[in-house]
Amino acid sequence: MKHGSLAALLLLLTAAPVPALATNLATAPIGRENLPWWQTRFEQTLAAARAEPDAKIVWLGDSITQYWQREGTQGYDNIMPVWQKYYAPYHALDFGFVGDTTSSLIWRLNHGQVDGLHPRLAIILIGANNLGRVHWGASMTVPGIEAVVANTHERLPSAHILLLGILPSIRSPWVDQQTAAINAALAVAYAHSPAVTFVDAGPVLTSGGRVDPDLFVDPKLNPPEPALHPDAEGMARIAAFIQADVERYARSQ
* Domain residue limits, the chain: 27-250
**Three-class SS state of 32:** coil
Is the alpha carbon torsion for 215, 246, 144, 146 positive or negative? negative
DSSP type of residue 232: H
Cβ atoms within 10 Å of 48's Cβ, excluding its own:
13
Alpha helices in the chain (DSSP H): 3-14, 36-51, 63-66, 80-86, 102-110, 138-155, 173-189, 232-250
What is residue 253's predicted lDDT score, i.e. its pLDDT? 53
Q: What is the SS3 assignment for 161? A: strand
Given CA atoms 138, 238, 206, 76 in this order, what sign does their dihedral have? Answer: negative
Pick the CATH number of 27-250 from 3.40.50.1110, 3.40.50.80, 2.40.50.100, 2.40.50.140: 3.40.50.1110
Supply the pLDDT for residue 123. 98
- Torsion angle, alpha carbons of 34, 149, 63, 219, to 10: 140
**Residue 247 vs residues 46, 74, 252: alpha-carbon distances, Å:** 25, 30, 8
Can you give the pLDDT at residue 195? 98
Quick one: residue 85, left, alpha or beta (phi over 0 = left, psi -120 to 50 = alpha)?
A: alpha
In angstroms, the CA 96 to CA 88 distance is 16
At 238 the three-state DSSP class reads helix
Question: What are the φ/ψ torsions at residue 207 (nearest 5 degrees)?
Answer: -145, 125
Q: pLDDT of the chain along its 253 residues, tens only?
A: 444 444 444 444 444 444 444 899 999 999 999 999 999 999 999 999 999 999 999 999 999 999 999 999 999 999 999 999 999 999 999 999 999 999 999 999 999 999 999 999 999 999 999 999 999 999 999 999 999 999 999 999 999 999 999 999 999 999 999 999 999 999 999 999 999 999 999 999 999 989 999 999 999 999 999 999 999 999 999 999 999 999 999 986 5
pLDDT (0 to 100) of residue 215: 98
* Other CB atoms within 10 Å distance of the CB of residue 238: 24
Length of the chain: 253
pLDDT in tens, 24-81: 999 999 999 999 999 999 999 999 999 999 999 999 999 999 999 999 999 999 999 9
pLDDT at 251: 86
Alpha helices in 156-193 (DSSP H): 173-189
Q: What is the DSSP letter of 192?
A: T
